[in-house]
A and B are shown apart, each in its own frame.
Chain A
Amino acid sequence: MHVGGEVDVRSAYCAASVASLTNILTPALFAGTAEWIARCQNWEGGIGGVPGMEAHGGYTFCGMAALVILKQEHLLNLRSLLHWVTGRQMRFEGGFQGRCNKLVDGCYSFWQAGLLPLLHRALHARGDPALSMAHWMFDQLALQEYILLCCQCPAGGLLDKPGKSRDFYHTCYCLSGLAIAQHFGSGDLHNEVVLGIPENCLQATHPVYNIAPEKVARAVMHFLQYPVPSLDPA
């Protein structure tokens, strides 16, 4: 994560995200990374922080998104990953838990639900005939209910679950999850599913980078103008 710091799947995602947006991604930079991430997938189907660890929502998102950036998502067992993540949506609350048998938390609205657009895309690329053309493979309305009804602080901002206090992290990821739940696909296939009044609808977010899709496009276009820096001294 930093010099002298811990090594886990989050840093792979951060690195891949930054490198791909700024056009400094080279095969040498990520040699072996995809295979290492794949080793982090475990018997549960989800992904852990390092190989051998328990599957966890945050790490699973980082692992999957990093692999999508590296175009190696097929190194994973996508079917067991799909099985695991869909099992994380709680039938009573509508929100997602981070791990089996734990409590729901608003921030997993993004880390967990955000996996479904990535999985949808990966399975579609593989020619899966059973994919919906209108909905992600989770209950979008139930998630929106949880976020809107249970995760809002009356004074503004969002939170983990009722009784917790607001913070920027939960505000960010509850909103990101809400955006994911409201928007399916893009372009011609865009389908909006908005709970409540139309004004509840947020701008869509990019499922890999979690910034506006237009921003991703602009960043990529901007940095493509510059050559990929080489490691050789000038």
Chain B
Amino acid sequence: MGRGYTVEESVEKYLTSLSAAAGSCKTGLLIGQCSAQKDFVVLAVKTPHRESEGASDSRRVLGPLDDIDADWVAEHARQVSRMLPGGVNVLGLFLITPPELSKEAQNKLKGLIFAVDKCISKSRLWDLSEDDVTDRVTLHICSKTRKAICKTYDVKDPKCSAKPADWKYLSCISSSWPVLTCSVKVDLQIPVTESSSEKCMKHGLGRWAKQIEAGLCLINGRPASDDSELLSGSKKSTKMSQQALQVQILVTEEDPVQRCSAVVQASSGSVHVRGTVHCRAYIHTNKPRTRHAAQAIKRDVVNTVSNRVEMLLEDLQMNEGGPASEQQDLPRRVFAPLPGSGLTVCDYMFPDETAADVAERLKEMLDWESAEEDIDTSVESPADEGRDDGAAQDVPIESMTEPVKQQKTSQYYAGVAVAAAVALLATATSLLYLNE
């Protein structure tokens, strides 16, 4: 009773061509969507060649399997997962080896799978829910016989053993997957202290992420909290055109701690993140539930903001920071269609970059040539010249309304019917006597 993976035919072609280029071992990522019943793989991407690959020192005799750098594979996986919209994730890894290394391949795959999962979940701001599938798939392909062995590992349990899984190819799996979209306004003010600004940022973003996670989600105007089916009423047909679903997210600002006074902290500065982000998620067509769709889009909201902030801070670190107080544009989200499927992937374009830079990154990370025209940069607006008062405030104070209850009393007019009026009077009088 293992998992069953339904895989795009284009993936088969890709893996075959990779295996044909014989030689040393090759690793790569398998990308798709998991659900309770079925799992879908829509893309395979080989791990890019590491330029500074250590020259094979003759001081150690290592096998080609040991040459595979788990950290490099994991880092690639982390960067690729930033390029995936909501609902689409790195599901596992493939490993192509010559026949003589087939035996050690499984062990290597297991180590890689856990390394990849650890790296991807490091900077995640949301927690896994009970619904989330924690099985990751490994595919070992023998370069000579082209035989593929598919197994899964549960990344929740480091001591687990591999479980067999089904792997079958099908065409046009994702061509009609519905896409959920929304634009989210972000307005966060996070106080930071000099010593732990990163921790403060993470904490501030984490609190916002929890708000989003707990928010009410409307899909095409209907609440998406229960177990109802997302695509009820629509007949399932392979030639069905892709449905676009509009999402709205409503949040409350509840503060469970009962306090008497405001929380005041001394800080050495604050970070203000403001603007609008475009969010997108895909959901499979195998009887999806509204709450899974809601979860996918909410996670995309959180991911896109935290990824961008992370990218900017990484960039600043590399370039020795910048002036202390200033406004910087976070990279803009752009989308590119994934060939042979109904999905898009995304990338983040810094203000000084062009579509050509994006295309280059897509080639490097996802191993495919994309035409510059295909890259959709219109989804988010570019940074504008006119800045309004993002500049320093003297003592920024953040306050939020926490609506606990709002009540309204409405008084009924007794003038509905004459007969009724008399009865009402009688009740009212007796009440009067008894109350005061």
**A and B form one complex:** no
Q: Interface of A with B (CB < 8 Å)?
A: none
B residues lining the A interface (CB < 8 Å): none
